[in-house]
Structure 1
Amino acid sequence: MGDAGSTEQNRSTTDGVRGEALGTAPVPLSVLDLVNVGEGCTAREALLSSVETAQLAEARGFTRYWVAEHHSMPGVASSSPAVILSHLAAHTDRIRLGSGGVMLPNHAPLVIAEQFGTLEALAPGRVDLGLGRAPGTDGATAAALRRTDRLREGAEDFPQQLAELVRFLGDDFPAGHPYARIHAVPGPVQAADGAETSRPQVWLLGSSGFSAQLAGQLGLPFAFAHHFSAANTLPALELYHESFQPSEVLEKPYTLIGASAFAADTEREAHRQILTGALSMLRLRTGRPGLVPTPEEAEAYSFSPVEKDFVDSWLGNVVYGTADAVRSGLDALVERTGADELMLTANAHTPSARVRSYELVADAYGLPA
């Protein structure tokens, strides 16, 4: 596991981790944006919608706004999280912005340290660096990204890559290390007279037990992808708590879970919108990725029995309906998991419907208007 075990490399305050529940929400609420591109829409429109959604999230008291790295998926425009976050930073003032996540094996750690050091310089004190070890795409695309077909080794090298990245962020490689004279800039090397500089808050992301255990051992906050790995949620959170070691980042564990949630003015409209995400996921899983279909196309689609089983299973993990129904479902999820924070993702075809969903959730919890 190497140098990543040293807490001195990752100094931060818990202000960058622990949010404050507002209104009647049992825990802080945040947003995960996949920057969906719907049929008949463009990537530009999707990215502009992300700005609108981030501004809404900030105005309504959501804690953070994350985007996730995906590649070679026509219905998702978030291949470059750092670029998107830079744009969002220019159009927001307070909300924490971050990656949910950057897939570290796809990149050289120094590159990520430079990108997120730049973001931290642009938006000091409000940048989260969530890291995952999956490719965020299929094997062929991952090989094209990494210029190698040794994908397994990339995942297995994750602890070492993480240790290197944390060292670059802290500018504290030990004397004699091959990288001791290399500096990630913007970064601590530019601080005047030894003054402390803010740095991105590192999170580990996961959908199984590997990152849960590693996050616990390193005393880092942990975000779990409940929205697509619900069966593993409780075991992973338990493993994180069991393995947690206090650090200079956290004195006690902090868990965030990503949850698919969609609110609309009627239950039927909520179902119409989320069915588009279900059909899009079905096509992705069966090797037919494309733009997110319209509600009309999704309703008219003739699902085979096998496809219907997949869609029913997928929808069973989505909290959807009217605002009150979504609130009840999210409250139950917090009660069941003991999560410290919920990060909501609203996957649908229509940008205005996604914005409306977050408005309704904020209203249901009495978040500030």
Structure 2
Amino acid sequence: MTHEIRVDPLTGLRAIIAPARAGRPQALAAVAPAAPIVRADDPFAAGHEDRTPPAILERGAGGSAAPGGGWAVRVVPNLYPALTPDAADPEPSHRPDLFGAAAATGASEVIVNAPDPVHSLADLDAAQVALAVDVWRERMRAHPDAAYVHVHVNERAEGGATQPHTHAQLLALDFVPALVARERERFGAYATRTMGGDLLSDLLQEEVRQRDRIVAIDSEAVLLAPYASASPYRLMLVPRRGRDRFEAEGPSGAALLHDGLQRLKRRFGSSPPLTLWVRTAPQGATRFCWHIEIAPRLTALAGLELGTGVHLNPVAPELAAAELRDA
């Protein structure tokens, strides 16, 4: 395969697909098993509830409320929040056109995905992942006035996790982040250009027709390697029937999410460091489709990525998809 510059249809951002660079020394980080979590040091383990702020929500194994113990998924305020509901306004700037600032208001929550001290969602069974995902959605619905609600999971220190025990983070923002706004605008522009077409549904239909980047399909969703993957072995989960909001009632794709993480674990012999995030419709969006992105952290951001925003990927998405289909 020759080197290509590809354009992400959802964001318009460019990525260079450069397979020849895969032969460089240390082109991809080695994936070794994570050291076991020491339960005595784990603030998220069952029995250590006094080491976190009081719970916002606890769900039992069947999804019912479980106050006071026996929880399967637990939600707490972030002990080190990025946003707070009562953040003070900054001092007014004499040049707001140059030095804009606003209070960092919003909510910061931690969703402990399971009571057992494991590193990854891939270490849980499918039913536990489905329960955790249901709680993500429940907490997203708890912030209806937020301009955007962002849920992400960092796994292992290389993936940005400061606590090894599997957990998600939720941030309820009072603004729409620029990257989300780009996607919203491209969904709207595509609908105008195609007389009402849905960008992601049409993209998914074409990907299924071509098959080259499809990893797996189930009754709820499709897992694929994006055409303009910004990094090696990146995956995107897309609902088979498009819906704008992930938090709305309907299929969540949790079973296929678990399957994709299991495939990454088998491909590398151990769960790689990764970050995954949920993309849902921002407030006021009239055209959108939710999706989940999974980004294994196998390469470092360097001069090209940080200096230009153009990402360099040494593993073609078609190769990544084929390997993960076989995993």
TM-score (norm 1): 0.25
Structure holding more strand per residue? 2
TM-score (norm 2): 0.28
